[in-house]
Amino acid sequence: MDFDFTEEQQMLKATVRNYLEKEIAPQVNEHEKKGALTKAEAVGFIKQLLPFGFLSGFLPEKYGGSQLEAKTNGILVEELSRVWGSLAGTLFISAGFLWVLNEAGSPEQRERLLPLGASGEYIGCLAITEPNAGSDVSSLETVATLKGNHYLLNGTKTWISNGSIADAAFVLATTDKSLGALGMAFFLVEKNKSHFTARELHKLGMRSFPTSELSFDDCKVPKENALDPGAGYKRTMAFFDISRAMVGTMCSGIAQASIDASIKYAQERNQFGRPIGSFQMIQEMLVDMITETEAGRLLAFRALDLLDKGQKCRWQSSLAKAFATEAAVRTTSKAIQIHGAMGLSDEFAVERYFRDARTMTIPDGTTQMQKLIVGRDILGIRGIVWP
């Protein structure tokens, strides 16, 4: 097994880290206190980061992308998350939208929208979850009814990342409820052509990462914008194979930030006449934090490596997501402990790292759902029983 990044990847990691610490880190606190990024703010940051391959790394060169390996994209996502989880989320979700468009869009849709997406000016989102359909995606209620040359979309999507700032959404909806998951399609809903409303939702962590409720009320969508008829559910699951491993890298980045802060604090803070880092119980906490973060990172990059090799990675990606997110919660919690009362203050970033890590055990499927996927794949027996 080769655990090393290439020389190019190592250089990219170091260059990006340096840039993010200098140019982005000083702005994070102010934005996180303010809440969800506006479209203009998100575009400004995305454009700043495009030259490194952020966002465009998921796209083919012919559309203005830089078509990086999944592992290289993982390095970028981890480094950005180490500085600002929310921005990493916004970038990754928009990249996910472009990935679906590239995989399932018509030639006309790809030619028209992918270069716009690669320019960083066009933000996308993926609308799957509904008030009554969270873990059980197959029970979604949003319907698409064909009327001549267009569909009418009716339903509500909730907790949609980038929803309030998106120029377009892929909306998973059913055209035939009797077919269950096989009756679903992804509908490309372009905001300048089809009307839907967005309401921003406040949450514990990742506060600059917009999460919104989207309402579709007879939303008119051209017939040709129904992508993947009958296979929308399958496409969603294929996207999750990538996104779950990426969430693993995100949480490795957030956990790493809390480790770096804790090492510094343990060296600088004195009690009983010496640095708290000299106490064995503080050292033990740091070692546990490093062990779990390294393990989560290895699982995530292992899944991305399988993707790069064109191999299946469903359970490996779920395992990475389940372990790395939960490990990041434990790690960032220990970081607060090492900082004592200061760990609870928003003068230090560790309380944000904890809130951000805690937030990530839910999206892209909860920890429990990931474990059920791993269990199903290794046993060949479904742990989920549908009614």
Ligand X SMILES: Cc1cc2nc3c(=O)[nH]c(=O)nc-3n(C[C@H](O)[C@H](O)[C@H](O)COP(=O)(O)OP(=O)(O)OC[C@H]3O[C@@H](n4cnc5c(N)ncnc54)[C@H](O)[C@@H]3O)c2cc1C
Which residues contact ligand X by CB under 6 A? Answer: 93, 125-129, 134-135, 159-161, 206, 211, 359, 362-363, 365-366, 368-369, 372, 384
Between residues 66 and 90, which has the closer beta carbon with respect to ligand X?
Answer: 90
DSSP of 11-26? HHHHHHHHHIIIIIHH
Among 328, 376, 378, CA closest to 353 = 328
For the CB of residue 150, give the shortest distance to ligand X in the complex, in Å.
Answer: 23
Q: Which residues pair with 270 in a beta bridge?
A: 275
Q: Which residue in the shown chain puts its C-beta closest to ligand X? A: 134
Other C-beta atoms lying within 10 Å of the C-beta of residue 131:
12
CB of 19 to ligand X, least distance (A): 26
Q: Which two tokens stand for residue 325?
A: 């997110």
The minimum distance between CB 246 and ligand X, in angstroms, equals 13
Q: Hey, what's the torsion of the CAs at 145, 151, 155, 158, to 10 degrees?
A: 140
Q: How far is the CB of 302 from ligand X (least distance, A)?
A: 23
Within 10 angstroms of residue 273's Cβ, the number of other Cβ atoms is 6
Least separation in angstroms between CB 299 and ligand X: 19
Distances in Å between the Cα of 246 and the Cα atoms of 50, 242, 316, 324 are: 18, 6, 12, 10
**CB-wise, 72 or 361, nearer to ligand X?**
361
The string of DSSP letters for 43-59 reads HHHHHHHGGGTTTGGGS
- Encode burial over 330-339: b for 16+ CB neighbours within 10 A, e otherwise: ebbbbbbebb
16, 221, 359 from 120: Cα distances, Å: 18, 24, 26
Kindly state the smallest distance separating residue 341's Cβ from ligand X, in Å.
28
- In the bound state with ligand X, the residue whose beta carbon lies nearer, of 263 and 362, is 362
Instruction: Give the shortest CB-332-to-ligand X separation in angstroms.
Output: 16
* Angle subtended at Cα 200 by Cα 194 and Cα 203, rounded to the nearest 5 degrees: 145
- In angstroms, give the least distance from the CB of 39 to ligand X: 16
Exposure class string for 55-65: b at 16+ Cβ within 10 A, else e: bbbbbeeebbb
- For residue 166, give Cα distances in angstroms to 13, 37, 145, 386: 29, 11, 24, 33
* Least distance from ligand X to the Cβ atom of residue 359, Å: 5
